[in-house]
């Protein structure tokens, strides 16, 4: 945002907007505009927001401004015939609202618009049959997004962005609760539309309040829940959580009640009868805490502060404080709470956490810092002291009191870990701070403790890079200390902070020239290269040390140091090659070989040396390391490849053959000799360790190789060692993905082995190389049923959770185990795996039907763990199943709203006293003039024929209707569209206008409200009662 407005020459606007977005009440808005498109549109409106002195309070207001900006931008860049005035924009917005709502409710794909599916009336409003003439397309509101996957001859269209479709759909919604009730309030794709509708300025507050009230009072009809840890139905919680999100967009009179209830669900309550703090089940608790991030933040903070003030439960207090720390940034009430808590609590852990939270929501808060400083001084708990020092490093940047406290801690603590943490924190918060620098300089001048001097000098170098006192102190420390560990630390630290410093460089150069202490020379060379990379004295000193020292430990250290600082340096490589030829110490030779493998990639001299060493050394460790190093640096080198090929042909040493094949596979991937050698080794060796290593190596270098797969398959058939068989199976899993031979082999192993561990490994591998393989899943299911080993059972459960996705048998098996096992850990793991593999609505339905009986009062009282595990799976079912389907499964009967309309009305006794007739508009042939269609349906219902000819126009139908009224046989006409016949299109305005001219009780059931004819929404929860009330008016 700063970059945007800086380039626009309005940096003050950017700062104004950032300042506003940092305020707690705009946190939700700040989250929304992280999207690049929204951020761009927001910035385009930035000047207007500054002029108004504030930001949009609702998402609807935000998008209203975006839409206005869209038109302004179009008018600025387009030719005259594409410029629009306010009236044209308003009319187009209405059409886009109708189109969006149709796409969400009547289209075959919600976010793909197929022009062929639109009604003639809607096409006409958009601009006619030719899509290219649609103003919405010409302006860019609608764009062609590709060819219809269902019909390659047809293009499909989408909105400028899906969020604008949601906004326009929200503009098209009338009769909020009646429209949204049912599955829509539980459909994730409708959530944003509902929130946008709640933020609309043109919708009466009473309508919005009705929706909020209906959500918090929603009854899902799926069980009675009056327990201390679960008090509502699954969908009742979902409806309530939606209301909690909605009160951000609309300031409901129920807001405080809603937020308090969410906090209660998230953190619990005090049970007066049991005299203990009670918490709700985990799914409820977790969902409630999550929704606190979406709801009215000011009220959520106040509710949390109130909770913290009354609860004595430490666990609840910590969780609430943690949540408050996440959502309370900048909030005065949250800040005040933590300040008061710091003053009142004597619990050191609580003080630390409160100070930490306060520092996060109010960076630099003096009370938080003062509390941590006091805690550092007073606590005797070293763990608390270390945490306090760490937290000061996060929140105390530039604070003199924090810096002084950490300096003091450095000087006084006897705990090395705490001193280290203090120094680290000081390095974070004291950078450039003169007081910190002065304190450390003084500490260096006064302390005699060498470790403190080292740590202080190191910290000083971090907060004041190049500080001469720090460098001088470390130089002096190096010169005077007799403690080898301190000398090493000082040299290392000087290498870290003295980069480019002439004094440090000179010191190390002189030290290398004068010291006779070989260990110091080695460390000095390392540090010199750190502060002056490539320094020739450092490299020369190490090379010279290799040539002259008689101490093998020193030589080993010099080799190691060369490996760190001399990658590719020819002098260093030559020195290492010479060392290989001259040293008699195998440890030194091994280290030299290892170092060559790190710094000499492709170097012919190093490769030749390693090849020679492989041919001559008798030390197995050295030979193994030489082969490994050659594998690293010899990729593609003909000499190295030839050597390994010849070695494989001549050696009888199985360990060498295995290592040589491995190295050959590394430097020449896919080399047939390497693979053949490993395969032969597998076939001929009698040593199980060798066979195991060879199989493991094949899995690393032979992915997909048929010969390697065949060898492993054969070994699976012949091996009598169960441990080795498991390794073969595991190796097949690495290289045999999709290979039929490997799959068959593992299937056969499953059928023949009686070893449970082998069966589990084979099934697990089979699931990896052939996802969903039924034999693997069947084997694991059988293992679950037969094993008496609980660890084996848990392994099988865990593996089913990885490979059994969507498999009904696996789901059935886990459901059975969940309800049958008496082992709590196994049951909990089973619930986890079950939750991972349920995939379809049918499977969710099956799980619901099987686990529902275990949510009884009896289970709750006598086997709470079973109740709890079943509940969390059914909670997942309720997040994924449509509400009406869940209702039907739970109650073993359809939800009333899903019954055919005629049956719904017949099942409502109060309506039986009236004569009413349903007319199905989906059967209309001529939608503008359905007179004959209506007449035909009335004759089918045994109404008398017309005294004249059958009515062919709505005017003629009016005469027939009057005839029925005179004879007192006219019914109450209820027009609807059967959704099972076709997607409801709504009734033609021409027809509705004609219908409004008729006397008597006539209504329409449709999502499209018409001002001329009484209209009811088909999803209205109390449709039957509403029709009754209308009839009686």
> Three-class SS string for 832-870?
HHHHHHCCCHHHHHHHHHHHHHHHCHHHHHHCHHHHHHH
Most confident range (mean pLDDT) of 17-21, 252-256, 366-370, 371-375 is 252-256
pLDDT value at residue 1021: 64
Taking each continuous run of H as one helix and of E as one strand, the counts in the chain are 57, 8
Q: Which of 160-174, 608-622, 880-894 has the lowest mean pLDDT?
A: 608-622
Q: Which residue has the tokens 């101490």?
A: 551
CA distance 481 to 489: 11
Q: How confident is the model at residue 259 (pLDDT cuts 50, 70, 90)?
A: very high
CA distance 376 to 349: 12
Compute the average pLDDT of residues 135-143: 92
Compute the average pLDDT of residues 226-245: 96
* Burial class of 685 by CB neighbour count within 10 A (0 to 12, 13 to 18, 19+): middle
Q: Which residues contact 593 (CB under 8 A, 6 or more apart)?
A: 580, 610, 613, 622, 625, 626, 629
Convert 231-262 into a string of H (helix), E (strand) and C (coil): CCCHHHHHHHHHHHHHCCCCCCCCHHHHHHHH
Calculate what percentage of the chain has a pLDDT beyond 70. 96
Identify the helix (H) or strand (E) that includes residue 170: helix 162-172
Most confident range (mean pLDDT) of 70-79, 253-262, 444-453, 683-692 is 253-262
Residues 942-997: pLDDT tens digits? Answer: 999 998 899 999 999 999 999 998 888 889 999 999 877 776 778 888 999 999 99
Query: Nearest 5 degrees, angle CA 181-CA 184-CA 185?
Result: 70
Q: How confident is the model at residue 904 (pLDDT cuts 50, 70, 90)?
A: confident
pLDDT value at residue 512: 66
Q: How confident is the model at residue 104 (pLDDT cuts 50, 70, 90)?
A: confident
Residue ranges covered by each domain of the chain: 1-57, 177-187+213-327, 771-891, 899-1032
pLDDT value at residue 886: 94
pLDDT value at residue 53: 81
Compute the average pLDDT of residues 251-263: 96
Token couple for 914: 């009236």
Residue 614: phi and psi, rounded to 5, are -60, -35
pLDDT value at residue 298: 87
Q: How confident is the model at residue 566 (pLDDT cuts 50, 70, 90)?
A: low
For 605-726, list the strands marked E by DSSP: none
Token couple for 986: 């709504």
Q: Which residues contact 39 (CB under 8 A, 6 or more apart)?
A: 1, 33
Q: Which residue has the tokens 């290392």?
A: 492
**What is the pairing mode between strands 269-271 and 1002-1005?**
unpaired
Give whole-number Cα distances, 359 to 109, 156, 304, 328, 445, in Å. Answer: 49, 52, 18, 11, 33
Output the CA torsion 73→77→81→85 (10° steps): 30
Check: CB of residue 473 under 8 Å from CB of residue 490: no
CA distance 921 to 848: 37
For residue 545, the Cα-to-chain-centroid distance in whole angstroms is 54
Closest CA to 874 of 834, 827, 912: 834
Rounded to the nearest 5 percent, the helix, strand and coil shares of the chain are 70, 5, 25
pLDDT value at residue 430: 83
Q: How confident is the model at residue 756 (pLDDT cuts 50, 70, 90)?
A: confident
Q: How confident is the model at residue 88 (pLDDT cuts 50, 70, 90)?
A: very high
Q: Which of 199-208, 409-418, 678-687, 851-860 has the lowest mean pLDDT?
A: 678-687
Residues 406-459: pLDDT tens digits? Answer: 888 877 887 877 877 887 788 788 887 777 777 777 776 777 777 777 777 777
Phi-psi domain of 350 (left: phi exceeds 0; alpha: psi -120 through 50; beta: other): alpha
Q: At what angle do helices 450-463 and 434-446 cross, to 10 degrees?
A: 160
CA distance 649 to 642: 11
CA distance 191 to 215: 13
**What is the pairing mode between strands 142-148 and 916-920?**
unpaired
Lay out the sheet containing 972-976: strands in order across.
Answer: 916-920, 972-976, 1002-1005, 1014-1016
Q: Which residue has the tokens 């059931």?
A: 1005
Give the mean pLDDT of the chain.
84
CA distance 28 to 163: 16
Residue 143: phi and psi, rounded to 5, are -135, 145
Identify the helix (H) or strand (E) that includes residue 973: strand 972-976
Output the CA torsion 507→510→512→515 (10° steps): -100
Q: How confident is the model at residue 87 (pLDDT cuts 50, 70, 90)?
A: very high
CA distance 704 to 708: 8
Phi-psi domain of 947 (left: phi exceeds 0; alpha: psi -120 through 50; beta: other): alpha
Token couple for 651: 């050696």
pLDDT value at residue 388: 87
pLDDT value at residue 565: 65
pLDDT value at residue 900: 81
Closest CA to 364 of 388, 395, 335: 395
pLDDT value at residue 767: 79
pLDDT value at residue 543: 74
Residue 45: phi and psi, rounded to 5, are -95, 5
Give whole-number Cα distances, 839 to 812, 835, 874, 880, in Å. Answer: 13, 9, 14, 10
Compute the average pLDDT of residues 492-519: 72
Q: Which residues pair with 919 in a beta bridge?
A: 975
**pLDDT for 683 beyond 80:** no
- C-beta contacts of 366-370 below 8 A and 24+ residues apart: 366/399, 366/401, 367/338, 367/339, 367/342, 367/343, 368/338, 368/342, 368/395, 369/395, 369/396, 369/399, 369/401, 369/402, 370/401
Check: CB of residue 796 under 8 Å from CB of residue 757: no
Token couple for 596: 């060559």
Q: Which of 164-173, 547-556, 824-833 has the lowest mean pLDDT?
A: 547-556
Token couple for 302: 């106040």
Check: CB of residue 627 under 8 Å from CB of residue 662: yes
pLDDT value at residue 846: 94
Q: How confident is the model at residue 875 (pLDDT cuts 50, 70, 90)?
A: very high
Residue 704: phi and psi, rounded to 5, are 80, -5
461: how many CB neighbours lie within 10 A of its CB?
A: 25
Q: Which residues pair with 923 in a beta bridge?
A: none
pLDDT value at residue 654: 76
Q: Which residues contact 246 (CB under 8 A, 6 or more apart)?
A: 194, 195, 198, 211, 212, 215, 252
Check: CB of residue 48 under 8 Å from CB of residue 69: no
Residue 916: phi and psi, rounded to 5, are -130, 155
Check: CB of residue 664 under 8 Å from CB of residue 627: no
Largest CA distance in the chain: 129
For residue 954, the Cα-to-chain-centroid distance in whole angstroms is 59
CA distance 497 to 925: 87
Please tell me what DSSP assigns to residue 22. Answer: T
**pLDDT for 571 beyond 80:** no
CA distance 762 to 750: 6
CA distance 61 to 201: 8
Strand, helix or coil for residue 279: coil
Q: Which residues pair with 54 in a beta bridge?
A: none
130: how many CB neighbours lie within 10 A of its CB?
A: 10
Compute the average pLDDT of residues 62-77: 88
Residue 112: phi and psi, rounded to 5, are -120, 125
CA distance 712 to 970: 85
Check: CB of residue 385 under 8 Å from CB of residue 346: no
pLDDT value at residue 847: 96
Q: Which residues pair with 143 in a beta bridge?
A: 158
Residues 533-565: pLDDT tens digits? Answer: 767 777 777 777 767 777 777 767 677 777 666
**What is the pairing mode between strands 916-920 and 972-976?**
parallel
**What is the pairing mode between strands 151-159 and 269-271?**
unpaired
Check: CB of residue 624 under 8 Å from CB of residue 597: no
């Amino acid at each position: 945002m700063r970059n945007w407005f800086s380039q626009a020459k309005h940096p003050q606007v950017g700062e104004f907007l950032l300042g506003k977005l940092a305020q707690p009440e705009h946190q939700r808005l700040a989250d929304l505009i992280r999207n690049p498109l929204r951020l761009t549109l927001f910035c385009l409106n930035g000047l207007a927001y500054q002029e108004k002195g504030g930001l949009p309070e609702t998402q609807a207001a935000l998008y209203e401004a975006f839409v206005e900006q869209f038109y302004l931008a179009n008018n600025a860049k387009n030719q005259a015939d594409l410029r629009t005035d306010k009236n044209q924009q308003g009319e187009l917005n209405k059409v886009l609202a109708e189109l969006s709502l149709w796409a969400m409710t009547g289209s075959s794909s919600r976010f793909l618009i197929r022009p062929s599916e639109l009604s003639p009336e809607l096409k006409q409003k958009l601009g006619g049959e030719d899509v290219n003439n649609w103003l919405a397309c010409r302006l860019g509101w609608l764009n062609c997004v590709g060819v219809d996957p269902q019909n390659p001859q047809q293009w499909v269209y989408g909105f400028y962005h899906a969020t604008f479709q949601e906004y326009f759909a929200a503009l098209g919604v009338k009769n909020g609760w009646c429209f949204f009730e049912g599955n829509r309030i539980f459909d994730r794709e409708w959530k944003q539309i509902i929130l946008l509708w709640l933020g609309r300025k043109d919708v009466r507050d009473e309508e919005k309040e009705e929706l909020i009230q209906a959500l918090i009072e929603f009854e899902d009809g799926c069980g009675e829940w009056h327990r201390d840890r679960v008090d509502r139905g699954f969908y009742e919680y979902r409806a309530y959580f939606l209301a909690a999100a909605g009160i951000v967009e609309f300031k409901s009179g129920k807001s405080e009640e809603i937020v308090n209830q969410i906090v209660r669900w998230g953190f619990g309550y005090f049970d007066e009868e049991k005299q203990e703090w009670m918490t709700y089940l985990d799914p409820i608790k977790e969902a409630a805490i999550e929704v606190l991030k979406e709801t009215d933040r000011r009220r959520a903070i106040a509710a949390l502060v109130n909770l913290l003030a009354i609860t004595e439960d430490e666990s609840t207090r910590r969780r609430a404080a943690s949540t408050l720390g996440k959502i309370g940034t900048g909030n005065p009430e949250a800040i005040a709470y933590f300040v008061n808590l710091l003053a009142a609590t004597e619990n050191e852990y609580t003080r630390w956490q409160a100070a930490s939270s306060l520092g996060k929501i109010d960076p630099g808060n003096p009370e938080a810092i003062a509390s941590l400083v006091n805690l550092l001084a007073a606590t005797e708990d070293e763990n608390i002291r270390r945490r306090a020092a760490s937290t000061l490093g996060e929140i105390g940047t530039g604070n003199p009191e924090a810096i002084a406290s950490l300096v003091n801690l450095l000087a006084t603590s006897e705990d090395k870990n705490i001193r280290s943490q203090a120094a680290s924190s000081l390095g974070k918060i004291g950078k450039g701070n003169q007081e910190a620098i002065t304190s450390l300089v003084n500490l260096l001048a006064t302390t005699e403790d060498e470790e403190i001097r080292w740590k202080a000098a190191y910290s000083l170098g971090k907060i004041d890079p190049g500080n001469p006192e720090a460098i001088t102190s470390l130089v002096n420390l190096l010169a005077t200390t007799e403690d080898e560990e301190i000398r090493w630390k000082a040299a290392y630290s000087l290498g870290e902070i003295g980069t480019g410093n002439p004094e440090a460089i000179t010191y190390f150069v002189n030290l290398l020239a004068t010291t006779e202490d070989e260990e110091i020379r080695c460390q000095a060379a390392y540090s010199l290269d750190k502060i002056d990379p490539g320094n020739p004295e450092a490299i020369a000193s190490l090379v010279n040390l290799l040539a002259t020292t008689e101490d093998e430990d020193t030589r080993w250290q010099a080799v190691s140091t060369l490996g760190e600082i001399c990658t590719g340096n020819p002098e260093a490589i030559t020195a290492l090659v010479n060392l290989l030829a001259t040293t008699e110490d195998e440890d030194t030779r091994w280290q030299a070989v290892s170092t060559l493998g790190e710094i000499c990639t492709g170097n012919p001299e190093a490769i030749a040396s390693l090849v020679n060493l492989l041919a001559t050394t008798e030390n197995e460790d050295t030979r193994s390391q030489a082969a490994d190093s050659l594998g690293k640096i010899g990729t593609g080198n003909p000499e190295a490849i030839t050597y390994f090929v010849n070695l494989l042909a001549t050696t009888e040493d199985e360990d060498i053959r295995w290592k040589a094949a491995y190295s050959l596979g590394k430097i020449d991937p896919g080399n047939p000799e390497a693979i053949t050698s490993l395969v032969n080794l597998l076939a001929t060796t009698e040593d199980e360790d060798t066979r195991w290593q060879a199989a493991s190596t094949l899995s690393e270098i032979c992915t997909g190789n048929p010969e390697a797969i065949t060898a492993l398959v054969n070994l699976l058939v012949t091996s009598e060692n169960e441990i080795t068989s498991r390794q073969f199976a595991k190796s097949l899993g690495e290289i045999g993905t999709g290979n039929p031979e490997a799959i068959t082999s593992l299937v056969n192993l499953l059928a023949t082995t009686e070893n449970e561990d082998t069966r589990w490994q084979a099934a697990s591998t089979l699931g990896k190389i052939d996802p969903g393989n039924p034999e693997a899943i069947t084997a694991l299911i059988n293992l679950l049923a037969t094993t008496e080993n609980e660890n084996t059972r848990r392994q099988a459960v865990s593996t089913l959770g990885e490979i059994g996705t969507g498999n009904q048998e696996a789901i059935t098996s886990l459901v059975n185990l969940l309800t049958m096992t008496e082992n709590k850990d196994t049951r909990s793991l089973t619930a986890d795996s079950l939750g991972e593999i349920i995939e379809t609505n049918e499977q969710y339905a099956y799980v619901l039907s099987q686990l529902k009986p275990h949510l009884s009062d009896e289970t709750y009282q006598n086997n709470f763990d079973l109740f709890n595990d079943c509940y969390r799976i059914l909670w997942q079912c309720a997040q994924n199943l449509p509400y009406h389907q869940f209702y039907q499964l739970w109650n073993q009967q359809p939800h009333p709203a899903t019954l055919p309309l005629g049956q719904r009305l017949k099942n409502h006794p109060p309506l039986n006293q009236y004569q009413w007739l349903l007319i199905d508009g989906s059967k209309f042939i001529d939608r503008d003039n359905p007179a004959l269609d209506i007449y035909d349906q009335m004759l089918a219902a045994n109404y008398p024929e017309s005294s004249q000819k059958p009515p062919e126009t709505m005017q003629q139908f009016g005469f027939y209707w009057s005839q029925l009224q005179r004879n007192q046989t006219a019914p109450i006409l209820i027009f609807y569209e059967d959704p099972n016949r076709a997607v409801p299109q709504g009734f033609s305005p021409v027809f509705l206008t004609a219908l409004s001219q008729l006397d008597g009780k006539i209504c329409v059931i449709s999502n499209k409200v018409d001002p001329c004819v009484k209209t009811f929404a088909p999803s209205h929860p109390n449709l039957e009662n509403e029709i009754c009330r209308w009839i009686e008016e």
